[in-house]
């Protein structure tokens, strides 16, 4: 079939993007235009999700970086069907200065419309190509990037399936989806400087997750014990012969090995800044399911970190807006921080994605380590199994 979109995709794109006026769909709630297509999996309209829990979410996330330690981007967005909210963010860290844009709107009837304020991602080919666009804004960052997936994505559920026996709105955390690595090209503009990114010069990772929980709504919507996403840390490493995403091993599209591999044990030895207790460098020994061990070294590149509080993970640093917690009118906001200042790093510290030089078996690349400070420091200080200081 080549690269042509399917007939269904072409019709849906035409249907949802040629006419942005959904006024009449609002009066047909819960029906939407996509319900006219023969794609349903339950008796419910597409707009209705399987759980009434207000924390139900659909989410995309992508982090991209160069290999020189000058530029990294983290961008993502979430839909909350039961809250009728949509949000998105972009974080651009360029030579140690982080600029962020966040946007919020009502979700409305058109679940195919992913645009939120100046953030305008587009799925070119599902599970193969995306376009990430950030229009000009007052925080002086914009980009237009074409992403191509290079690794085989495999569906998996992290926490299991819905428990329909519990009362409405009290679902335990359930998270499912897929992850992958890829490459991007295009341009990024920061403070008036346009940076051209040729093919092969910019790469990274992305995921698509959906489910219930994962901190949606902040403390006010956490029922019982809230699972702390990624408390053992995230790591996104892609070498020519192996790639590690969290605790799974991903293979190239078309690789003869089926499915995906698994990391069964990780031994971490980490070093932190003395004044902030933020990660600087470390070593991790990954034991894979086949018994092999990968000894991987990480070194943070300058102050090239995406501090994800500015993407609403753990609450924004100025207004403490959590993912799914904003219920005001449509809004676009942002901020700018000089990451060379220790007080700034302390203020922003929570879920931090560090751009690192990464080496293993004589190979050197760059990737992302997300230790989740201060938990990682405290785990090393306590000598928990698998954790120690370098």
Whether 167 and 307 map to the same domain: the answer is: yes
Q: Tell me which residue of 254, 253, 258, 256 sits closest to 289, measured CA to CA.
A: 258
Whether 11 and 119 map to the same domain: the answer is: no
Q: Token pair of 219, please?
A: 């403390």
Instruction: Answer whether residue 23 shows pLDDT above 90.
Output: no
Question: Residue 122 — pLDDT band, cuts 50, 70, 90?
Answer: very high
- pTM value is 0.91
Whether 212 and 330 map to the same domain: the answer is: yes
Question: Which of 224 and 11 is assigned the larger pLDDT?
Answer: 224
Whether 221 and 369 map to the same domain: the answer is: yes
Structural element, H or E, at residue 162: none
Question: pLDDT of 50-59, one tens digit each?
Answer: 888 889 999 9
Instruction: Answer whether residue 245 shows pLDDT above 80.
Output: yes
Instruction: Determine what percent of the chain is predicted with pLDDT higher than 90.
Output: 71
Instruction: Determine what percent of the chain is predicted with pLDDT higher than 70.
Output: 88
Structural domain including 265 reads: 49-389
Whether 269 and 305 map to the same domain: the answer is: yes
Report d(CA 224, CA 210) in Å as an integer.
20
Look up the CATH number of the domain holding residue 111: 2.40.370.10
Whether 62 and 169 map to the same domain: the answer is: yes
Tell me what pLDDT residue 8 has: 43
* Number of domains the chain is built from: 2
Question: pLDDT of 258-281, one tens digit each?
Answer: 999 999 999 999 999 999 999 999
Question: Which of 47 and 272 is assigned the larger pLDDT?
Answer: 272
Question: pLDDT of 77-120, one tens digit each?
Answer: 999 999 999 999 999 999 999 999 999 999 988 888 999 999 99
Tell me what pLDDT residue 250 has: 96
Whether 233 and 246 map to the same domain: the answer is: yes
Integer angstrom CA distances of residue 82 from 49, 85, 138, 333: 8, 8, 31, 24
Tell me what pLDDT residue 215 has: 84
């Amino acid at each position: 079939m080549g690269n042509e979109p399917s007939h269904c995709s072409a019709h849906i794109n035409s249907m949802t993007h040629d006419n942005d006026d959904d006024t009449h769909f609002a009066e047909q709630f819960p029906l939407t235009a996509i319900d006219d297509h023969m794609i349903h999996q339950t008796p419910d309209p597409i707009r209705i999700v399987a759980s009434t829990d207000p924390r139900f979410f659909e989410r995309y996330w992508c982090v991209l970086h160069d290999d020189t330690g000058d530029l990294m981007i983290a961008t993502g967005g979430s839909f909350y069907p039961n809250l009728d909210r949509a949000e998105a963010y972009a974080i651009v860290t360029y030579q140690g200065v982080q600029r962020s844009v966040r946007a919020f709107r009502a979700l409305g009837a058109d679940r195919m419309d992913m645009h939120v304020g100046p953030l305008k991602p587009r799925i070119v080919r599902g599970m193969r190509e995306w376009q990430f666009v950030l229009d000009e804004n007052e925080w002086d960052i914009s980009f237009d990037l074409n992403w191509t997936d290079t690794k085989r994505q495999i569906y998996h559920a992290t926490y299991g399936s819905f428990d329909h026996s519990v009362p409405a709105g009290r679902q335990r955390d359930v998270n499912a989806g897929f992850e992958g690595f890829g490459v991007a090209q295009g341009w990024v503009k920061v403070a008036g400087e346009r940076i051209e990114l040729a093919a092969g010069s910019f790469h990274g990772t992305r995921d698509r997750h959906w489910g219930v929980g994962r901190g949606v709504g902040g403390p006010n919507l956490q029922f019982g014990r809230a699972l702390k996403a990624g408390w053992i840390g995230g790591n996104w490493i892609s070498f020519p012969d192996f790639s590690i995403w969290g605790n799974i091993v991903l293979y190239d599209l078309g690789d003869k090995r089926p499915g995906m591999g698994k990391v069964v044990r990780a031994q971490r030895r980490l070093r932190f800044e003395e004044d902030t207790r933020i990660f600087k460098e470390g070593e991790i020994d990954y034991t894979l399911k086949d018994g092999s061990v990968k000894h991987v070294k990480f070194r943070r590149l300058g102050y090239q970190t995406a501090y994800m509080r500015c993407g609403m993970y753990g609450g924004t640093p100025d207004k403490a807006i959590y993912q799914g917690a904003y219920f005001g009118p449509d809004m676009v906001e942002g901020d700018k921080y000089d990451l060379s200042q220790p007080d700034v790093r302390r203020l922003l510290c929570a879920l931090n994605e560090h751009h690192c030089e990464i080496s293993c078996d004589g190979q050197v690349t760059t990737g992302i380590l997300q230790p989740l400070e201060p938990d990682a420091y405290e785990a090393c200080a306590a000598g928990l199994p698998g954790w120690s200081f370098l």
